[in-house]
Amino acid sequence: MSETINPQRKWVLVALMLTMMLAAMDITIVSTAIPQIVGDLGGFSKFTWVFSIYLLAQTVTIPIYGKLSDLYGRKIILITGVVIFLIGSAASATAWDIYSLILFRGIQGIGAGSIMATVNTIAGDIYSVEERAKIQGYLSSIWGISAIMGPTVGGALTEFINWRWIFLINLPLGALSIYFLVAFFKKKVVPTKIKIDYKGAVLIVGTLVSLLLFLIEGGQSWAWISWQSMTLFISALLLGALTYRVEKRSSHAIIPMWLWKDKSLAYTNLAMIGMGIVLMGPEVFLPTFTQASLGLGIIASGFVLASMSVGWPVASTLSGRLYLKIGFRETALIGAIIIMLSCVFFVLIPKPQAIAMIVATQIIMGAGFGLLSTPSLVGAQSRVSWQERGVVTSSIIFSRNLGQSLGATIVGVIFNNSLLQKMKTGPEGVEQLSPQELLSSLNQAQTSETIKQFIRDAINSSMMYVYMGLIFFAFLISLFIYLMPATKKKY
């Protein structure tokens, strides 16, 4: 099967950017409305599942959609995913309790998996190697725009209309993207014999569900050392071993073994896992750090986090000139080293940290991600044919998502353990406070200034340990890229 594209590629690109915006804005636009959602629907103890189920459903379906797009074509798989996402959005707007909302968010996540798996693949299909860096810059900029628009639009809709509109707003955007795809994304299908690896698909989903539930809920809903955690961990190991056995023997594997036999692709995927881990450091704790330790407001702290989106699309766009001159591997290695240096700079900023310095490290880190992610993706796509590009692209996106799931857990363990250890040396009464109580006590008038300053220092110290951990993972990314075999192929 192959696809040829109408020359009016700009409208296809518009469709891809609109579609990407659906998935990119979803988390940030929902997070601002959670207090109102919980106020209406109840279920405060379960609200984290509103995010977890979306991430889980999205991540486990990415490799499956990637394979299906190679078999049936990108267009039908992407449109199907958008339709599923819109159905989940419309249903979420009608939720009557927290459990129905969690269910409908899972449907949204299933649709988002198709968006994440196919948008970058289509971009790789319709643009040349020389053009892809610029296009990836456009697609990357969507995440930066969404980081700013999401909280703003979500807050406005929730305050002036109703929180249900944060889901309904997806419907016109999705309908418009479908229109552009149908009107301008023309395909020519060459029939081919299709076989679906259903057994492998079921085992992959089972393995990833067990692993991600272990990572997402471990230490939250139950202790790490508990029968729930151990059951999930052992299930992930057993199902993973069985998946490997089945996929190794299948001629139509969802995740073919050649992905890991090719050293360039294998090390690229490992580097993307590391990138996902590092990305979660600032994503999870930077807003908390800037608000609690440095006294910024909610909106200002959001802009500090979003400053990463300044360097990312710019570096992603400019990376094309660099990888055409020195190669994909070398460009990605420069990006990895810049990420590591940005983490080092953050640790070395004199305390109390100047906001301008933190913003600078965020911009530098974003530039590193742009130089790492785009050459890694384009380089991997350029190594394979059209029939394999969907699997390769989805494996890279999946690896990054998996890294983010791992990263959320890892940085949480580092931060919380450091904070708890610091609390043991604090003034009387501080040790008994939970992390949530520590943060809320900063806004209470009855809390003494001595205790407030101690808490700020403790949070600052914990953040330094988080970034020290990120330095280690950034080093691993650099190592994986360095271990990739150099290629003399000219693009």
Alpha-carbon distances of 307 from 20, 365, 431, 464, rounded to whole Å? 20, 10, 35, 19
Give the integer Cα–Cα distance in Å for 406 and 383.
Answer: 28
Give residue 80's identity as a one-letter amino acid code: T
Residues 266 and 363 in one domain: yes
Alpha carbon separation from 242 to 67, 252, 270, 441 (Å, rounded):
19, 16, 21, 49
Q: What is the pLDDT of residue 4?
A: 44
Give the largest CA-CA distance in the chain: 74
Q: Which of 308, 390, 375, 383 has the alpha carbon at shortest distance from 335?
A: 375
Q: How far apart are CA 276 and CA 369, in angstroms?
A: 10
d(CA 140, CA 138): 5
- In terms of domains, do 370 and 421 share one? yes
Kindly state whether residues 289 and 173 are assigned to the same domain: no
For the segment 169-195, what is each residue's pLDDT rounded down to a tens digit?
Answer: 889 988 998 988 888 877 655 545 556
Q: Domain end: 189, 214, 240, which one?
A: 189
- pLDDT value for 5: 45
Rounded CA separation 115/189 (Å): 21
Asked if residue 489 belongs to a domain, the reply is no
Summarised one tens digit per residue, pLDDT across range 12-32 is 888 888 888 888 777 667 766
Domain count, the chain: 3
My answer on whether 229 and 146 are in the same domain is no
Q: What is the extent of the structural domain holding 464?
A: 256-484
**Bridge partners, residue 218, by sequence:** 222
What's residue 88's pLDDT? 93
Count other C-beta atoms under 10 Å from residue 431's C-beta. 12
Q: Which amino acid is at 293?
A: S
Q: For residues 435 and 321, state if they share a domain.
A: yes
Is the peptide bond prior to 352 cis by the omega test (within 30 degrees of 0)? yes
- 139, 13 Cβ separation under 8 angstroms: no
Of 189, 216, 243, which marks where a domain is finished?
189
Quote the CA–CA distance of 396 and 415 in Å, as a whole number: 28
The runs of H, that is alpha helices, within 293-443 are 298-306, 308-326, 328-348, 355-382, 386-423, 435-441
Is residue 224 included in any domain, yes or no? Answer: yes
Q: What are 3's two structure tokens?
A: 């696809």
Residue where one domain finishes, among candidates 189, 207, 240: 189
Residues 413 and 329 in one domain: yes
Q: In which region does residue 327 sit, left (phi positive, over 0), alpha (psi from -120 to 50) or beta (all else)?
A: left
User: How do the pLDDT tens digits run along the chain, 491 residues long?
Assistant: 444 444 577 788 888 888 888 887 776 677 667 667 777 777 655 666 777 778 778 887 887 887 787 777 788 889 999 999 999 999 999 988 888 988 999 899 899 888 887 887 787 777 776 776 677 777 777 766 776 677 677 767 777 788 888 888 889 988 998 988 888 877 655 545 556 667 777 887 788 778 877 876 776 667 778 888 899 889 989 988 888 888 777 766 666 777 777 888 889 989 999 998 898 888 777 777 887 778 777 667 767 777 887 888 788 878 878 888 888 889 999 999 999 999 999 999 888 888 889 989 999 998 999 899 888 888 887 777 766 777 777 788 888 878 877 787 788 778 877 877 777 776 766 666 655 566 666 666 666 777 777 778 888 888 899 999 999 999 999 999 999 887 654 44
**Closest-CA residue to 378 (of 143, 11, 185, 121):** 121
Region of residue 283 (phi > 0: left; psi between -120 and 50: alpha; otherwise: beta) = alpha
Rg of the chain (C-alpha set) = 22
Q: Are 348 and 469 in contact (CB under 8 A)?
A: no
- Alpha-carbon distance of 270 to 274, in angstroms, equals 6
Give the CATH number, domain containing residue 464.
1.20.1250.20
Same structural domain for residues 111 and 14?
A: yes
